[in-house]
Amino acid sequence: MFKLGLTGGIATGKSTVSTHFKEQHIPVLDADVIAREIVMPGEPALAEIVATFGEEMLLADGTLNRQALGSVVFGNPAKLQQLNAITHPRVQASMRAQIAAHEAAGAPLIVLDIPLLLEGHNAAGADAVMVVSVPEEVQKQRLMARNNLSEEAALKRINSQMPLAEKRQLADYVIDNAGTIAETYAQVDAVLEEILH
């Protein structure tokens, strides 16, 4: 089974590409979705987060108070590292289990949708990496529009990530998502053709 890592930068259109894979009935494992699942009420990760960071990390309904947690860990590398030590191994374990299940079911290809795939030095073990990219000006405009941000706030988020130019250099496949959706899908289909045939 071929494991294709999918990544990009904020507002480059990774979810557009991910949706296209799903429409082709290709299994997509989304690290962000798994990260939300492992902190559901009753999950050990949530209990550990509360034990580490305090009861104020819970909302009245017993779910994770993401805003409170974010305000504690963002801008504090030591606290962020504590959080990552709780969540990352569990995300990876869940991902490994799901990969094994798809492999056992005979899936020829699986997509690993991981925002920090390259920052994490491909710990997921993808066989090839696809980076969804757009010119930096397009990225900034899309992010400002999507999240209703000032130019300064948008640039701050973009600059907190590995530069897209660096990601493109590390990629096996680069999808240019600056054109139409049809143009983006055609590039993705060409990669699928290459991988599956």
Binding-site residue numbers for ATP are 11-16
Token output for 2: 């071929």
Residue type for position 158: I
How far apart are alpha carbons 110 and 125 in whole angstroms? Answer: 12
Q: How far is CA 97 from CA 8, 34, 90, 103, in A?
A: 24, 12, 11, 10
Sheet hosting strand 2-8, strand order edge to edge: 28-30, 109-113, 2-8, 128-133, 173-176
- For 33-97, what is the HEC assignment? HHHHHCCCCCCHHHHHHHHHHCHHHECCCCCECHHHHHHHHCCCHHHHHHHHHHHHHHHHHHHHH
Distance CA 165, CA 170 (A): 9
Detail the residues annotated as belonging to a binding site. 11-16
CA distance 191 to 128: 11
